[in-house]
């Protein structure tokens, strides 16, 4: 059988490097056609050499000379800029595109991959949060497939394989609760980045780890699930499950609940998407039923974690509201990581930006980019 030819958008980040780890374990199944990164020339060049990658893109164009120099002795072709990335993902030499870029920046190349009818293994949830209706419509129009990589959505997808055409009554989206699950409102308000960055169960990049601490991540995942599974948000319920063993559940009309379980390790959903529908080994730890004694569940607290409430409000409002929430949050999280604002300012900025939104009920792609720019400017105004 021919190897699956993979493109990884964002190969130096957390999902990117874990995807490479899965590919490294299965040279008989996969080959790397394209990798990209925003800034990390050193790691990108090392990856290009290790996997003998045909095309290597550095999105930050000012870093191009450094990358070209690092790869001058190799066979890899070196490119710069998001425009190059957008045309290269459409190549006939690419079968599967792994969307692992951070934030809104992943939207354009993801749309290009879908326009070319590719299989997109999507980890970059902000793409669906900002432009879910456009992204899913583009996939339908071009017969492209979106396979979820986000662990909860991969779990739901795996549970749905048992649906046999039956309608979903409810999705139970599990949340670890993050590092502040048991903290008071006052403690959370004053928490510094070093504590927010300590996720109890998952090994992830900085942006998503902060989003997990605020539960903005779970809110975005509600929106992501709404689009991936075409389900009304009122049927998506968040349940806090601190052990992160159940990755999500699907309930049917007869009350039967199908759950997907495993040790928290992103390589499972990555491997499942890369080689779907056949399962492969990914080098992860397996659940040990002799050690695992308790699975516990709690109702999420929207008072201590207002970002989750804001996400439900944004998806209920629809249009460009989720895009605005994402844009505000990207600015707020970056400012928080730089020490410019406190943790409790993140939901405040998000709420203020949502309230100040120039609402569009059925936004075009241009409207989405415009909303992203406008709201980022408003959010930045809240910081200075
Ligand atoms: Mg997740």
pLDDT at 245: 97
Confidence (pLDDT) at 204: 81
At CA 310, angle to CA 309 and CA 313, rounded to 5?
90
Q: How confident is the model at residue 202, as a pLDDT?
A: 79
User: What are the residue ranges in the chain where pLDDT is below 70?
Assistant: none
How far does the centroid of ligand 1 lie from the alpha carbon of residue 52, in Å? 31
Dihedral of alpha carbons 277, 162, 116, 15, sign: negative
Please tell me the distance between residue 175's alpha carbon and the centre of ligand 1 in angstroms: 8
Structure confidence at residue 289 (pLDDT): 94
**pLDDT score recorded for residue 384:** 75
Q: Give the Å distance between the CA of 66 and the centre of ligand 1.
A: 34
Q: Is the pTM of this model over 0.95?
A: yes
pLDDT, tens digit, for every residue of 308-342? 999 999 999 999 999 999 999 999 999 999 999 99
Q: How far is the CA of 209 from the centre of ligand 1 (A)?
A: 10
| pLDDT value, residue 373 | 98
Cα of 267 from ligand 1 centre, angstroms? 13
Output the CA 325–ligand 1 centroid distance in Å: 18
pLDDT in tens, 30-76: 999 999 999 999 999 999 999 999 999 999 999 999 999 999 999 99
Distance 373 CA to ligand 1 centre (A): 26
Residue 224 CA to ligand 1 center (angstroms) comes to 10
Question: How far is the centre of ligand 1, averaged over its atoms, from the C-alpha of 151 (Å)?
Answer: 5
């Amino acid at each position: 059988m021919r190897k699956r030819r993979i493109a990884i958008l964002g190969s130096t980040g957390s999902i990117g490097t874990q995807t490479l780890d899965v590919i490294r374990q299965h040279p008989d199944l996969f080959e790397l056609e394209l990798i990209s990164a925003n800034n990390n020339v050193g790691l990108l060049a090392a990856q290009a050499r290790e996997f003998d990658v045909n095309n290597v893109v550095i999105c930050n164009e000012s870093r191009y000379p450094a990358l070209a120099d690092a790869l001058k002795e190799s066979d890899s072709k070196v490119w710069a800029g998001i425009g190059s990335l957008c045309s290269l993902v459409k190549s006939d030499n690419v079968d599967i595109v792994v969307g692992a870029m951070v934030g809104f920046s992943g939207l354009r190349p993801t749309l290009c991959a879908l326009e070319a009818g590719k299989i997109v293994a999507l980890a970059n949830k902000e793409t669906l949060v900002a432009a879910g209706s456009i992204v899913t419509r583009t996939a339908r129009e071009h017969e492209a497939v979106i396979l979820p990589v986000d662990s909860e959505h991969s779990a739901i997808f795996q549970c749905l394989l048992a649906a046999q055409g039956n309608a979903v009554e409810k999705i139970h989206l599990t949340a670890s609760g993050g590092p502040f699950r048991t903290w008071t409102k006052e403690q959370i308000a004053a928490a510094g980045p070093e504590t927010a960055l300590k996720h109890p169960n998952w090994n992830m990049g900085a942006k998503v780890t902060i989003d997990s601490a605020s539960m903005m991540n779970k809110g975005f995942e509600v929106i992501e699930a709404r689009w991936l599974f075409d389900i009304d948000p009122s049927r998506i319920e968040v349940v806090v499950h601190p052990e992160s063993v159940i990755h999500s559940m699907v309930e049917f009309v007869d009350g039967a609940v199908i759950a997907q379980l495993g040790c928290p390790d992103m390589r499972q959903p990555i491997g499942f998407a890369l080689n779907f529908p056949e399962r492969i080994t990914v080098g992860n730890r397996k659940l040990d039923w002799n050690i695992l004694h308790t699975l516990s569940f709690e109702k999420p607290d929207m008072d201590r974690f207002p970002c989750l409430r804001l996400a439900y409000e944004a998806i209920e409002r629809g249009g460009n509201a989720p895009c605005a929430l994402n844009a505000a949050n990207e600015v707020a999280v970056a400012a928080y990581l730089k020490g410019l604002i406190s943790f409790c300012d993140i939901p405040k900025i998000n709420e203020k930006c949502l309230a100040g939104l120039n609402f569009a009920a059925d936004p075009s792609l241009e409207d989405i980019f415009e909303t992203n720019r406008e709201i980022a400017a408003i959010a930045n105004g809240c910081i200075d």
